[in-house]
Amino acid sequence: MRDYELVFIVSPEVAEENLPATVEKVTQFVAAGGGTVTDVNQWGKRKLAYPIRNFSEGSYFVAQLKMDSKAAKTLERELRLSEEVIRHLLVRVGE
């Protein structure tokens, strides 16, 4: 298992009270691949540097993950298909 850091931006169309459910979906994507989420931090709603899908703001989240590389590829595919997550970046931490 490798350590990863995932930064993702949730669409502003998702209501504030539904944000935990969106984070739970991402956690389920990780768990389905045999990984674990060790920490999730919410950075809050911020203005985007440039429009993404015609949105000018989004809710930022940072998650620390442990998973293997095959699960990481699957997670990225699921995030690309998700309508709630408008942008994400998954990077391997460490060596």
Task: Tell me which amino acid residue 47 is.
Answer: K
Burial of 41 (0-12, 13-18, 19+ CB in 10 A): exposed
Q: What is the topology classification, in CATH, of domain 2-92?
A: Alpha-Beta Plaits (3.30.70)
pLDDT tens digit string along 27-85? 999 998 889 999 999 999 999 999 999 999 999 999 999 999 899 999 999 999 999 99
β-strand 36-52 against 85-92: which pairing, if any? unpaired
Predicted TM-score (pTM) of the model is: 0.90
